[in-house]
A and B are shown apart, each in its own frame.
Chain A
Amino acid sequence: MRSFCLFISILILFMSCTKQRIDAEVNDFFYFTNDGSDMPVWVEGSTVSKTMIVLLHGGPGGSSQYYNNVLTSFTSPLENDYLMVYYDQRGAGTSQGHYSKSDLTLEQFNDDLDKLITLLKYKYEVDYLILMGHSWGGLIGTSYLLDGKNNDRVNGWIEIDGAHNWFPFPDLYNTFDSIANQQILLNNSVSFWNDVLGEINKVSDKNNPTKLEVSKINSLGFDAEVVLTDDNQIERGIVYKNDVKYHNLFSGYNAITADVNLLVTSSVLGMFNYLYDNKFNFTPRVNEITIPVMLNWGEFDLIVPKSIAIDTYDNLGTPIDKKEGYIYKVSGHSPMINQPQIMVENIKLFIEEKVK
C-alpha cells in the first residue's frame, strides 16, 4: 500500500511538471452543424499573428482536405504564419447530414459561412479574418461579401480563379479559341486543339450555350489543362504522392464519401440545374465590395477565363491601394498547384501590406 501511494505521488508530481502546450500552434477539429448539414472544420496553423484565413474550396462538392493535406506546398507555409481554417461545405468532402435538394442554394451556403465565422470568432481570438476562395469558393465568397453587412465581418478577400461569374460566355469560348490557335502555331498537340476548335464551332449560340454544352466545355477545360501541362505550357506543380496515400488511408478523409458528394452535388442531382437556371454573375456588383481584395488568376484558366479577373479588378469598390491582381503565367485554373511558392509570397505580402 505504501509503495502504491508513493507511485501515485510520483505520477502526480510528474504530471504537474509536464510542460504546458504552447498555444501558438493549433491543430483543432470539430463539426459545425447548420440547417441539416454537419460540416467538418479543421483549424490548423499559428495563432501568433492573430490572423485567420478561411478557405472556401472549389466545387460545388469539392473538398477542403485536398488543400489541407495534398496541396501542402501551398498551405503549409501559410500555416506557419496564419491560422488556416478548412471546412467542407454542405454536400462536399466528408460533410454529412439530411437536407433536401432545395437547401443547396447560394443563400444557404452564405448562411453556413456566416454562422461558421460567428463560431470561429467565438472560439479563437483573431484580429484579422480573411476569406480565400478558389473557383466555386470564389462565387460563395463574392456573394457573401455582397450582402452589405458582411463587408464589416471580414478583413480581406483573396480570390483564386473564382467563379463569381458562373456563366462566362462567350468569354470562355473566346479564350479557348485564342489558346487553341496559339498552341497550334506553337505546334503543340495540334490534333487535340483542332478537335477543341471543332467542338467550339458546333455551339449554335455562344452567348447562351445549352446545359450539355456548358457541361462539355467545362470538362474540356480540365482536359486542356492536362494537355497544356504535358506540353510544358503549365507548370506541373508539386503534389506529394505520399501525402495523398497518407491522406486517404490514415486521416479522417473518406475518399468514397467525398467522391459521391462531388458527383451528386455538382451534377443535376445537386446544384447544376440551379446554377444554370440562375446564371450568377456578380462582376457588375463588385463595386459594392470595399474591403482589401487580392485576385489571383492563371493565364491558361479554361474554366473561369482571366478576362473576368481584369473586369473585376477594374470594377471593385476597394480603394486602389488596397487591391492587388496577379496573373500567373504558367498556371491554369489552380495556380496554387502550379506555382505555389510565388503565390504564397504574394498572399503574405498582401496580408501584411494591404490587410493589416
Chain B
Amino acid sequence: MIKQKYLFFILLLFCFNIVGAQNKNKRDTIFKLKKNKEISFFKQAINPYLDYGVSFYSHYLLKPGFEFSVSKNIKNKNKEILYYKKKKSKLSKKNISTWLSINNSYYFHPQNHSGVRLFTSIKRKLSYGNKLSFSYGFTLGVLRSFLGETYEVTDAGEVKELKWYGRFYGTLGALLDISYPVSINNKYNFRPFLSSEIYSVFPYNNFISANFNTQLGVRFYIKKK
C-alpha cells in the first residue's frame, strides 16, 4: 500500500513536468505578441514564454541533489534611460519580468532525511541588456521526506519495519538568483545560474524548521520550428 502511494506520487511529479511542457503550442503566438508590443529592443531570447532549468542542488551545504524546473514568463516591463556623462550619452536598457515556476527537487541527506520537493515560485527578474540578470522571489511547496530504515514499536511491544517511510511537509521560502547568458540567438539560449534559497518547513515537530540550498545549473529555451 505504501509502495503504491509512493509510485503514485512519483507519477504525479512527472505529470507536472509533462503538463508544463505541453504549453509549447501556445508559446509562439503569445511570445510574438510580447516581442512586438513590449520588448522590441531586447533580443527575444531574454524572456521566452517558457523555459526549462536543470541544476545541481546542494541541500544544506554539501548534501547533493538535483532540480528540474519549468518557468513561465507572466509579465514584462521595459525601462530605457538615457544617461549623459561628460558630453557622452549612454542608453541603459533594463527589463523587469515576473516568472512563475514549477520545480521538482530531489536531495539526499542520509541520517537526516532525503526528500522530494515540489514547489512553485514567483520571481522578479531584473535583466540588464542581454547580459546579467538578478532575480528574487518567493517559493511555496510540498516536501515528502524519506527516512530510510525506520522502525515502529506497537503498544503491544511488536516491532515493525516501515518501508519507504516519510512524511509530507509544507515549505515556504525566499530565493535569490543570478544568471548570465552564454549563448543567445533566435532559436535557443543557455543561461547558467547560481541560486540560493532559504525556506521554512512546516509543521515540523510541533512548530517549524528551516533549511537552505544552493543551486548551480542552467536554464534553457529551445524554440521549435
Tell me the A residues contacting B by CB distance below 8 Å: 29-34, 37-38, 40, 42, 90-91, 94-101, 103-104, 115-116, 118-119, 122-123, 249-254, 256-257, 260-261, 264-265, 269-270
Question: With A98-B167, A249-B62 in contact, do A256 and B211 touch (Cβ < 8 Å)?
Answer: yes
Question: Which residues from A are CB-within-8-Å of B151?
Answer: 30-33, 119, 123
Question: Which residues from B are CB-within-8-Å of A30?
Answer: 148-151
Residue of B nearest to A61 (CB): B205
Question: Which residues from A are CB-within-8-Å of B150?
Answer: 30-33, 38
Judge whether B112 is part of the interface by a CB distance below 8 angstroms: yes
Return the CB mask of B99-114 against A: 1 if under 8 Å, else 0: 0000000000111110
Residue of A nearest to B203 (CB): A98
Q: A214 CA to B221 CA in the complex, in Å?
A: 61
Return the CB mask of B128-167 against A: 1 if under 8 Å, else 0: 0000000000000000010111111100010100100101
Is A257's CB under 8 angstroms from B209's CB?
Answer: yes
Question: Which residues from A are CB-within-8-Å of B112?
Answer: 40, 94, 252-254, 257
Judge whether B210 is part of the interface by a CB distance below 8 angstroms: yes
Which of B111, B149, B207 meets A94, CB within 8 Å? B111
CB distance from B174 to the nearest CB of A (A): 15
Question: Which residues from A are CB-within-8-Å of B149?
Answer: 29-31
Is B167's CB under 8 angstroms from A256's CB?
Answer: no
Is B211's CB under 8 angstroms from A257's CB?
Answer: yes
Q: A95 CA to B157 CA in the complex, in Å?
A: 22
| Dominant SS among interface residues on chain A | mixed
Residue of B nearest to A29 (CB): B111
Q: A265 CA to B111 CA in the complex, in Å?
A: 21
Give chain B interface residues in 168-213, CB to chain A under 8 Å.
Answer: 203-212
Q: How large is the interface on B (under 10, 10 to 19, 20 to 34, 35 or more residues)?
A: 20 to 34
Question: Which residues from A are CB-within-8-Å of B61?
Answer: 249
Q: A253 CA to B147 CA in the complex, in Å?
A: 14
CB distance from A99 to the nearest CB of B (A): 6
Question: Which residues from B are CB-within-8-Å of A261?
Answer: 205, 209
CB distance from A97 to the nearest CB of B (A): 6
- If A115-B153, A257-B204 are given as contacts, then 10 extra A-B residue pairs at C-beta distance below 8 Å, sorted by A number, are A31-B149, A32-B150, A32-B153, A38-B147, A94-B112, A96-B145, A99-B206, A119-B151, A260-B210, A264-B208
Q: A254 CA to B165 CA in the complex, in Å?
A: 20
Question: Which residues from B are CB-within-8-Å of A123?
Answer: 151, 159
Question: With A33-B150, A254-B112 in contact, do A96 and B205 touch (Cβ < 8 Å)?
Answer: yes
Which of A31, A34, A91, A104 meets B147, CB within 8 Å? A31
CB distance from B173 to the nearest CB of A (A): 13
A-B pairs with beta carbons under 8 Å apart, 19 shown: A31-B165, A32-B150, A32-B153, A38-B150, A38-B165, A98-B203, A100-B206, A115-B153, A118-B153, A249-B61, A249-B62, A253-B112, A256-B210, A256-B211, A257-B112, A257-B210, A260-B204, A264-B207, A269-B207
Q: A218 CA to B61 CA in the complex, in Å?
A: 33
Residue of A nearest to B61 (CB): A249
Question: Which residues from B are CB-within-8-Å of A257?
Answer: 112, 204, 209-211
Is B205's CB under 8 angstroms from A254's CB?
Answer: no
